[in-house]
Structure 1
Amino acid sequence: MSGEGGASRLGRRLLKVRDRFVAERLDGLLVTHGANVRYLTNFTGTSGALLVGTSTCRLVTDGRYLTAARALLAAPDGPPDTELVPVERSYEATVSELLAGTGWPRIGFEVAHTSVKTHRQWTDRVGQAGQAGAQVPELVETYRIVEQVRAVKDPGELSTLRRAGQMLTEVAGEVRRTLEPGQRELEVAATVDHTLRSGGFERSAFDTIVASGPNSALPHAQPGPRRLAEGDIVLLDFGGVHDGYCVDLSRVATIGPPTEAAQRLHAAVADAQTAAIEAVRPGAWASDVDGAARRVLEERGLGEAFGHGTGHGLGLEIHEEPRVARRDADRERAVAAGADGPLAPGMVFTIEPGAYEPGFGGVRLEDDVAVTDDGCEMLTDVGRDLWVVS
């Protein structure tokens, strides 16, 4: 197969997934997590499953999405060798009948995305088929098979994320120009969300964070009625979805001239982010990037003020692999859980160290990077100065 577009692009993804599940001695994989189904098929419906075999696939969905799914499978860039299976009685019944009828001895399922109730329904129905004399599969728990493939972006994905980063940079500039003393946090959040849409994004990637004064010491504060007041630190964290892919940015403003304490926090976090960015290279571990940021803050006496990880992967979801977090003493366990591992070209993630002082405020600076052959590429380019609102 050749070329980045068309069926070959999805075909390459399916081949990588097949290689992984065959290595786990599986004959097929039932994919039920929406982002994973989309990654392998381009299907964007909210209800669907994909049964991937070693040579063919079956896409299950209900009547709301059948017309779109048929068009998708017929398109030149649709998934290769994929059959559409309409839901008839119920989603669980259709999937169970599909599983029971494959004749495959071992089929994996995404345990992290399957409820106990759904799994019980599958096993009960498949078991009933076995009692009737059919050869039925063993359902095997799998972890992160598709997610590990998604962690390394292909050139088309990188192009989309690069454009999304440029768009988010432009949105940030517009948001900065609209900030005024006296605005409520909720007003600012509404302006951010409107600016994301008018800037070309499909939607916000998550609930926009606008936190002022002491609220900014809460890393994931929800915007409320508080007005931006003189002397406040204002933490803004927002992101958008472009062509299905998420980008994310955090910046900090002060209302009026910044206090010495605000300048100290901001300078420390900016230096920590610089150190983390400089640590990104192929072969470095994700925890090495976290460690670079953490050491700077510890040296400034702010180690205890940094209570979260340094970053998270970006892609079809706002939080995906790789995770950029503190090193686990049990490295093997961390790798198995997707909590650490060596970086590779094509990985895309945020770098967002922060420092928070309860009762006063907090600072977080966040940008998006892509790992290259010799370092990283900045996908957002906003500048890291402290925004002063007068």
Structure 2
Amino acid sequence: MLEKAESLRRIERLRGELRTQGLDAAVFIYPIDVYYYAGTRQNSLLLIPCEGEPLLLVRKSLSRARLEATIDDIRPFPSSKEFGAVLGGNLKKVGFTFDVVPVQQYQFYQKLFAGCEFLDVSSLNREVRSVKSPWELERMRESGRRLGQVFQQVPSFLKAGLRELDLAAEFEYRLRKAGGEGYVRMRAFNQELFMGLALSGASAVMPGFFDGAVTGRGLSAASPHGASQASLVAGSPVFMDYTGVFDGYIVDMTRVFSIGKLPGQLMKAFEVSLAIQSYLVERLKPGAICEELFGAAARLAEEAGLGSCFMGAPGENARFVGHGVGLELDEFPVLAQGFKVPLKAGQTIAIEPKFVFPGQGVIGIENTFAVGEAGGEKITDIPDDIVFV
């Protein structure tokens, strides 16, 4: 459970940013934001004023929120008539997360916060959350350790003839038995993910909606992501890209396996993936500009003659090579074209240089790192090598 001292540090960091923006308070109704500051995911509204005590108004479950939350002032959600009296009359400018709040909810709370101006604090909130405390980093290291243990079991059950679905089910069963929570939370609209990807050969290169290098065929047009009914075959890369979610914290990791040898072109691409990862990890230091790191990775791929299939099939390429992770899979920062912001110590980033070869499969690597003064600290710390079985 979230420690009270940790919660208070987060709230004070947020308050500093709110004061800088000239806001009186911030209101959070998105569950994972409420959890981040208050330590409970119960259906609640969290009010964090710049001055005075935070207030948690709970729709359900009040009893569980009182058991879990780090906030002292916890009350049942009031009726509309009582809401104004609960707030008091000192709030004029209030931060709201426009990135995740539906219009209907926005309009509802505008009426409840009569006389207040709502201002967007989406980016401010995400910046605060992007820098992980030592407490958070310990939890992410534990997530990395436990996910790595499951990856290391793959050779014991990987064999030709399995369907992608069978491989995924076995991996996910073991991950769940290890305590994996499975909630791969994503902030981006219209994105969703079921734990991860277990893909092989030509099936792995199927393009799709997912905002990443690899999507997979999936099981239907309604579920066009991840493992399919296709069978694993010898001589094709088995691509496994999975999240580990423990105590709410997500790490992201990819390893490649193979039943027998792989073609030389794919082996070359794997070596280039490792070289790009190494280049980026050395530069995961405070002050490095995200867009410049992506640009350098793309140039390395181009110089190797692999630019057209870097981070996606030709014509379907994703324009990033790393993304923030934490309580959500798509946190700040992003090593992406157009993301012209400097890295900060304590940010956690999944670096994922990958290459997609139509008709052959996907090759690459992914690990989660923490930004530090000496470069990236590897959190998903098992060997990167392709495992041949």
- TM tier, shorter chain? 0.7 to 0.9
Equivalent residue number for residue 199 of structure 2: 211
From 169, 179, 184, the equivalent of 1:190 is 169
Q: Which one has the largest radius of gyration?
A: 1
Match of 2:331 among 313, 320, 341: 320
Q: What SS class does the counterpart of residue 30 from structure 1 fall into? A: strand
Q: 1:94 to 1:16 in 2, by over 3 A?
A: farther
Amino acid at match of 1:184: R
Q: Give CA deviations for 1:162-215 in whole Å, capped at 9, x if unaligned.
A: 121111221110123321111000111111111212223233634221111112
The one-letter code matched in structure 2 to 1:70 is R
* Preserved CA contact (<8 Å) 1:290 1:325: yes
- The 2-side partners of 1:113 and 1:97 are apart by 24
User: Residue 147 of structure 1 aligns with which residue?
Assistant: 126
Do the aligned partners of residues 137 and 154 (structure 1) sit closer, same or farther apart at CA in structure 2, a change above 3 Å counting?
A: same
Alignment TM-score, normalising by the size of structure 2: 0.85
**Are residues 1:42 and 2:39 paired?**
yes
Which of 212, 220, 231 aligns to 2:215? It is: 220
1:95 and 1:18, CA in 2 relative to 1: closer, same or farther beyond 3 A?
Answer: farther
Q: Counterpart of 1:198 in structure 2: which amino acid?
A: K
Matched, 1:262 2:241: no
Which letter does structure 1 place at the counterpart of 2:204?
A: S
Structure 1 residue 101: Cα displacement = 4.1
Query: What is the rounded CA distance, in whole Å, between the counterparts of 1:159 and 1:360 in structure 2?
Result: 39
Flag the structure with higher helix content: 1
The residue that corresponds to 2:64 in the other structure is 68
Name the SS for the 2:266 alignment partner. helix
- Mapped to 2, the partners of 1:151 and 1:98 lie a distance apart of 34
SS in 1 for 2:153: helix
Cα shift readout 1:58-88 (whole Å, capped 9, x = no counterpart): 11221x3111112234xxxx23xx4223135
| Count of aligned pairs | 355
Q: Take 1:198 and 1:61, find their aligned partners in 2: how far apart are those partners?
A: 32
* CA distance in 2: counterparts of 1:286 and 1:271, whole angstroms: 18
Q: How does 1:276-355 map to 2 (within 5 A)?
A: 276-306=280-310, 307-308=317-318, 309-326=320-337, 328=338, 339-355=339-355
Shift of 1:231: 2.1
* SS of alignment partner, residue 384 of structure 2: coil
Q: Is the 8 A contact 1:253 1:388 kept in 2?
A: yes
RMSD of aligned residue pairs (Cα, Å): 2.1
Deviations 1:303-358 (A, max 9, x none): 121222111111111221111113x2xxxxxxxxxx34211221111110111122
Question: In 2 relative to 1, CA 126–42 (structure 1 residues): closer, same or farther, beyond 3 Å?
Answer: closer
- Contact 2:356–2:363 (CA under 8 A) maintained in structure 1: yes
- Contact 1:286 / 1:343 at 8 angstroms: preserved in 2? yes
1:153-172 to structure 2, matched below 5 A, reads 153-172=132-151
Question: Does 2:248 align with 1:244?
Answer: yes
Shift of residue 96 of structure 1? 6.1
Are 1:83 and 2:73 matched, yes or no?
A: yes
User: Could you tell me which residue of structure 2 aligns to residue 230 of structure 1?
Assistant: 234
Give yes or no for contact 2:62–2:75 (8 Å, CA) kept in 1.
no
The correspondence for 1:16, drawn from 13, 18, 21, is 13
- Over residues 267-317 of structure 1, what are the superposed CA-to-partner deviations in whole Å (9 max), with x where a residue is unaligned? 222222222222222211222332332222111111121222111111111
Where do residues 92-131 of structure 1 align in structure 2 (5 Å cutoff)?
A: 93=80, 97=84, 101-127=88-114
In structure 1, stretches of 5+ residues that fail to align are 128-135, 329-338
Structure 2: segments with no counterpart, 5+ residues: 185-192, 207-213, 217-225, 311-316
